[in-house]
Chain A
Amino acid sequence: NAGVMQNPRHLVRRRGQEARLRCSPMKGHSHVYWYRQLPEEGLKFMVYLQKENIIDESGMPKERFSAEFPKEGPSILRIQQVVRGDSAAYFCASSPTPFGETQYFGPGTRLLVL
């Protein structure tokens, strides 16, 4: 059973470009969570999605950031007009149900904004 998959693993963008991060949850998991980790810090919740629905985006900046989890295909975290402060590791996690369940993390996408 394949784990959570994320791509790309590393992404370099210049300021003002768009970054698109993809996450495929574990088989049978319909709940996806995105977290951001700055260097030497813990993980910060960004957004929680189920298929075709955003359940909680309270941790996501209101501007430039968006997320989706379509009926078919991976979940996508999109960052428009990236700035240097967006440089971080972005982790996706998935679980079969949302409450009191283990969240399994993917390998992350390390975004570097030049």
Chain B
Amino acid sequence: QQPVQSPQAVILREGEDAVINCSSSKALYSVHWYRQKHGEAPVFLMILLKGGEQKGHEKISASFNEKKQQSSLYLTASQLSYSGTYFCGTENSGGSNYKLTFGKGTLLTVNP
């Protein structure tokens, strides 16, 4: 089942913050976050495995709620290099783990 990402697109000025959400109707095994620039490969950002987990660097971090049905990606003090499309990929609990099901993506544009 495809996770739902929101918003579909967001435009920021350099230095502003953004939150991107990824939701599923069922509990997930894991959530993987990627960033893809136009014409390039998706680049891995981070993976969350445990309910209630938070991880990441200073300016890019993510959380996984206790029920393991929602993850949020936090981008603070955005830089021009953050521009791209952000995808969450989810592994389902039970059944076939390993197969990532990706959301439709969130297009982030950071302007000077």
Contact = CB atoms under 8 A, between A and B. Distances in A.
Do chains A and B stick together as partners? yes
A33 B100 contact: yes
Contacts of A106: 41
Interface residues of B, number: 25
Contacts of B100: 33, 35, 43, 45, 103
A103 B44 CA distance: 8
Interface string B69-109: 00000000000000000010101000011111111110000
Contacts of B2: 42
Interface in A1-58: 31, 33, 35, 41-45, 48, 55-56, 58
A105 B41 contact: yes
Counting contact residues on chain A (CB < 8 A from B), the size range is: 20 to 34
A107 B40 contact: yes
A100 B49 contact: yes
Interface in B49-83: 49
Given A91-B42, A107-B40, A98 B98 contact: yes
Interface string B1-30: 010000000000000000000000000011
A45 B102 CA distance: 8
Interface of A: 31, 33, 35, 41-45, 48, 55-56, 58-59, 91, 95, 98-108
B41 A103 contact: no
A19 B87 CA distance: 28
A42 B32 contact: no
B32 A43 contact: no
Contact of B101 (A45, A95, A100): A45
29 contacts: A35-B102, A41-B104, A41-B105, A42-B2, A42-B87, A42-B103, A42-B104, A42-B105, A43-B87, A45-B100, A45-B101, A48-B98, A48-B99, A55-B98, A58-B96, A95-B98, A98-B98, A99-B91, A100-B91, A101-B47, A102-B32, A102-B47, A103-B32, A103-B44, A105-B42, A105-B43, A105-B44, A107-B40, A108-B41
